[in-house]
A and B are shown apart, each in its own frame.
Chain A
Amino acid sequence: MTLVDHRAAVTAGATVRSLAEAALERVGDDALHAFLELDRARILADADALDRRRAAGETLPLAGVPVAIKDNLCQRGTKTTCGSRMLAEWEAPYDATVVARLRDAGALLFGKTNMDEFAMGSSTENSAFGPTRNPKDPERVPGGSSGGSAAVVGAGWVPMALGSDTGGSVRQPAAYCGVHALKPTYGRISRFGLVAFASSLDQVGPFGATAADCAALYDAIAGPDPREATSADRPVESGTAALEAGVAGLRVGVLRSTFRQSDGAVAQVVEDAARKLEAAGATLVDATVDHLDLGLDAYYLVAPAEAASNLARFDGARYGTRVSGRDLADTYRQTRALFGPEVVRRIVLGTYALSEGYADEAYVRASRARTALCRSYARTFEGVDLLLSPTAPTVAFPLGARTEDPVAMYAADVFTVPVSLAGLPASSSPAGEVGGLPVGVQLVAPPFAEARLFSAMQVFDR
């Protein structure tokens, strides 16, 4: 059921409560382990409240549609665990800006979804509470780190979900689960209330069963926020309004190098997706972005460096769980032993990248490579309106296949991280399937051209 269907049902007289009950029924006992919290009583009470708002004559843009929330977004009245034992019992005393905006828009907040611990991972296997399964094949990963959100939309349980994307964490799971997702321009959607992983890269991103769902969710949450210093002070073009604009006349740059780096079958499906845009009136041209191959290395220094700093606040002093030691320093260490191995890996890597004697060759050098990437993208966008590549080089991999090899795990992000470093808006849309498993096509646009992405995403739903 999409937002369009949901609205139609509501218009035809269905209550938000009845639609919520139906959604809960679809979820059943959550065989995918996609939710970390699904408080049925609370959801139904909220549904009733939305019905009352409608009865009182309020216009609700999202009409009570259920939206799942990644568990690193603060939501009053629920736990926000970030998939970590560190915050297993923590309840935020405030709403993230995006959550508050969803409430205002009349969304039904529908459970908190599973994720890699503190959003660090590409498979959702790093959740302290167990992995989520791919809705198309339960023996495979849903991608990550927003695997729970991608899975609940991919399973058809809810039409929309919020995730967060630091290096590909909405785009790659969207590709693996066969749904749409958008990572906005850095600064476009508020980060206030998103538990930070890497602050210069993190963005909240909407998932949708269709491009229209994704756009409706985007429209509800995008825009300036006075509570965030990095929030862009720019008006937002409606994604929904852009859906029918089409792609006629747009020049789409095809990043050939990424096709060569992908599985052949994946490349073929994405090639076909490009032809779809061409058939809709776009012009395809081959494009390159210099230094694209520096993205992965630079990302895996910059993001851990910021993460090491962002996660220093988890010391068991003011909130969350404390494990008492023999003195303060020992208490810090015992408490921080609650972090899982991938989080520890990244904190240590990030500490290394910032520490005296290594910072110049690690963090600073990576930040200089970032400059090279930003400039390369800007040059490429002088000649094209959009860039097209596979979202990930492969389809969803089997559970456990890469957990022993971080380098292989990190490689799943090779096409998404350069975009994040440059802060550009990018989408992933279902391009087709390989052996019954979804393949995603990634589109990248110049800064703040999200509307153009929605115009193109819509083509893949036709």
Chain B
Amino acid sequence: MIDDATLERMLGLAALEVEGEARAALRRDLGRVLDSMTKLREAELGDLPPTYGVAEAARLRPDEPTEGLEREVALGAAPEATDELFVVPAVLSRGGDQ
């Protein structure tokens, strides 16, 4: 089970908006998935440490410049840009028009 307040918090953290029928379905599906995880909940894991990945030690790279993206290419891929900068809507909403 996952209550609506928790779902709302998760959606907020993930920058998602799900409303109406879809939201009810999402809540139901998440509840089912979480409820199905009885084996993990009941497992005796003692004091086992977590494993976050199985890769060996990190491969490093030398401090040497490599070719990047041309600015025109980088900005050209963006939904909105000036000649020099990426552009997104202002962090804060324009006052009064909501």
Q: Which A residues have a C-beta under 8 Å from some C-beta of B?
A: 90-91, 93, 186-187, 199-200, 224, 226, 228-233, 291, 293-294, 296-298, 300-301, 308, 312, 315-322, 324-334, 336-337, 339, 341, 344-345, 347-349, 351-352, 355, 361, 364-372, 374, 405-407, 410, 422-423
The reply to whether B32 and A407 contact each other, CB–CB distance below 8 Å, is yes
Q: Which residues of A contact B59 (CB under 8 A)?
A: 224, 226, 228-231, 233
The reply to whether A324 and B89 contact each other, CB–CB distance below 8 Å, is yes
Closest residue of A by beta carbon distance from B78: A318
Task: Kindly state whether residue B65 has any CB partner on chain A within 8 Å.
Answer: no
Q: Which residues of A contact B13 (CB under 8 A)?
A: 351, 355
Q: How far is the CA of A333 from the CA of B54 in the complex (A)?
A: 34
The reply to whether A317 and B78 contact each other, CB–CB distance below 8 Å, is yes
Contact residues of A: prevailing secondary structure: helix
Picked from A339, A341, A351, A372, the residue with its CB within 8 Å of the CB of B43 is A372
- Distance in Å: Cβ of B16 to nearest Cβ of chain A: 5
Q: Beta-carbon contacts of B20-59 to A below 8 Å, as 1s and 0s?
A: 0010011001101110111111010100111111111011
The reply to whether A374 and B26 contact each other, CB–CB distance below 8 Å, is no
Picked from B54, B79, B94, the residue with its CB within 8 Å of the CB of A322 is B79
Q: How far is the CA of A365 from the CA of B11 in the complex (A)?
A: 23
Interface size on B, residues (CB 8 A): 58
Q: How far is the CA of A308 from the CA of B15 in the complex (A)?
A: 11
27 pairs of residues in contact across A and B, judged by CB atoms under 8 Å? A93-B73, A187-B54, A187-B55, A200-B54, A224-B59, A226-B61, A232-B55, A291-B43, A297-B37, A297-B39, A300-B33, A312-B15, A317-B78, A318-B78, A324-B89, A327-B98, A328-B92, A328-B93, A336-B17, A347-B16, A355-B10, A368-B51, A369-B40, A371-B49, A374-B54, A406-B33, A423-B55
Closest residue of B by beta carbon distance from A411: B36
Q: Which residues of B contact A370 (CB under 8 A)?
A: 50-51
The reply to whether B88 and A93 contact each other, CB–CB distance below 8 Å, is no
- Distance in Å: Cβ of A10 to nearest Cβ of chain B: 35
Q: Which B residues have a C-beta under 8 Å from some C-beta of A?
A: 2, 6-7, 9-11, 13-18, 22, 25-26, 29-30, 32-34, 36-41, 43, 45, 48-56, 58-61, 69, 73-74, 77-80, 86, 88-94, 97-98
The reply to whether A327 and B94 contact each other, CB–CB distance below 8 Å, is yes
Closest residue of B by beta carbon distance from A90: B77
Q: How far is the CA of A264 from the CA of B21 in the complex (A)?
A: 39
Known: A322-B80, A337-B17. A327 touches B50 (CB 8 A): no
Q: Which residues of B contact A348 (CB under 8 A)?
A: 7, 10-11, 14, 16, 26, 30
Q: How far is the CA of A296 from the CA of B36 in the complex (A)?
A: 10
Additional A-B contact list (20), CB under 8 Å, known A226-B61, A369-B40? A230-B55, A230-B58, A230-B59, A233-B59, A296-B39, A319-B79, A326-B93, A327-B90, A327-B92, A330-B93, A344-B16, A347-B16, A348-B26, A349-B30, A368-B49, A370-B51, A371-B50, A405-B32, A406-B29, A407-B32
